[in-house]
Amino acid sequence: MGDDALRTRRVVGNWKMNGALAGNAALLGACASAFPESAVGAGRAVEVAVCVPFPYLAQARDLLSGSAVRWGAQDVSVHSSGAHTGEVSAAMITDFGGSFVIVGHSERRAHHSETSALVAGKAAAALAAGLTPIICLGETLEERETDMTEAVIAGQLSVCIEVLGYDHVAQCVIAYEPVWAIGTGRNATPDQVQSVHAFLRRRLGPAGASVSLLYGGSVKASNAAELFAMPDVDGGLIGGASLKLADFEPICRACA
């Protein structure tokens, strides 16, 4: 819907809690070589990024600087500083050159009791520090099977709109990640994804023209092109397949 030439196409890797210095060095170095400055995609320009565990932000900065690949984190504190043991602020992520932070991933909503209000607060904290939040939304299998998908997603999105306002939502990236498709090998079909993305785009109102809507959930080299060809899909958030360049690179190129 709308003029998709206005929207940035992106593929973002979510490493989750994977990695170690030696293996990361090989993967980050290979990513930097695969995507040297300004060289992602022969067709439409695609922004490629990886969201790494906090301890590896400095390593990502050191190995990706000078390449076209950006980096970021997988969570952020709603607070800006102070007595919040164990938390990491948005300014700390930008201090390491991060551009993105994932907020509201279903693993955090489910296993760390994160509410939509907290997720929206984290997105606000990220924007205030100059980071682009990637706000994850999605329904469970039970919710899909009981026809609750749109209601659930509308509820998650509306809290973000209430807290941030349309102007700030327009600066966010939104990732539709059906919980039943994450890490299961079972991706949503292109038609299912397009239907939810078109719904989200309508609910985004005035912000819909600029927000990149990513799909996440078992994206692989073999299904990326058909998912990314959908008119309201602007790229992907990639978990397992972002851990090997042989898997990640063709997914990034499929978005071009």
**Which active-site residues does the annotation give?**
105, 177
The CB-of-218 to ligand PEP minimum distance in angstroms stands at 4
Q: Does 98 bind ligand PEP (CB under 6 A)?
A: no
Number of residues that bind ligand PEP (CB under 6 A): 13
Q: Does 138 bind ligand PEP (CB under 6 A)?
A: no
The CB-of-72 to ligand PEP minimum distance in angstroms stands at 13
Q: Does 92 bind ligand PEP (CB under 6 A)?
A: no
Structure tokens that stand for 256 in this block: 């071009």
- Mapped to the 3 state alphabet, what secondary structure does the chain carry? CCCHHHCCEEEEEECCCCCCHHHHHHHHHHHHHHCECCCCCCCCCEEEEEECCHHHHHHHHHHHCCECEEEEECCCCCCCCCCCCCCCCHHHHHHCCCCEEEECCHHHHHHCCCCHHHHHHHHHHHHHCCCEEEEEECCCHHHHHCCCHHHHHHHHHHHHHHHHHHHHHCCCEEEECCHHHCCCCCCCCHHHHHHHHHHHHHHCHHHCCCCEEEEECCCCHHHHHHHHCCCCCCEEEECHHHCCHHHHHHHHHHCC
d(CA 150, CA 139): 8
Q: Which residue is nearest to ligand PEP (CB)?
A: 239
Q: Does 231 bind ligand PEP (CB under 6 A)?
A: no
**Contact code string over 145-184 relative to ligand PEP, x by CB under 6 A:** --------------------------------x----xx-
Q: Does 216 bind ligand PEP (CB under 6 A)?
A: yes
Q: Does 41 bind ligand PEP (CB under 6 A)?
A: no
Q: Does 243 bind ligand PEP (CB under 6 A)?
A: no
Q: Does 218 bind ligand PEP (CB under 6 A)?
A: yes
Among 153, 188, 237, 254, binds ligand PEP (CB under 6 A): 237
The CB-of-84 to ligand PEP minimum distance in angstroms stands at 25
Among 64, 240, 245, 251, binds ligand PEP (CB under 6 A): 240
Q: Does 121 bind ligand PEP (CB under 6 A)?
A: no
Q: Which of the stretches 18-26, 78-86, 120-128, 211-219 binds ligand PEP when contact is defined by CB under 6 A?
A: 211-219
CA distances from 212 to 23, 87, 88, 170, 174 (A): 30, 28, 26, 9, 6
d(CA 45, CA 108): 31
Q: Does 34 bind ligand PEP (CB under 6 A)?
A: no
Q: Does 14 bind ligand PEP (CB under 6 A)?
A: yes
The CB-of-241 to ligand PEP minimum distance in angstroms stands at 6
Q: Distance between the two ends of the chain, CA-based, in angstroms?
A: 18
> Which residues contact ligand PEP (rule: CB under 6 A)?
14, 177, 182-183, 216-219, 237-241
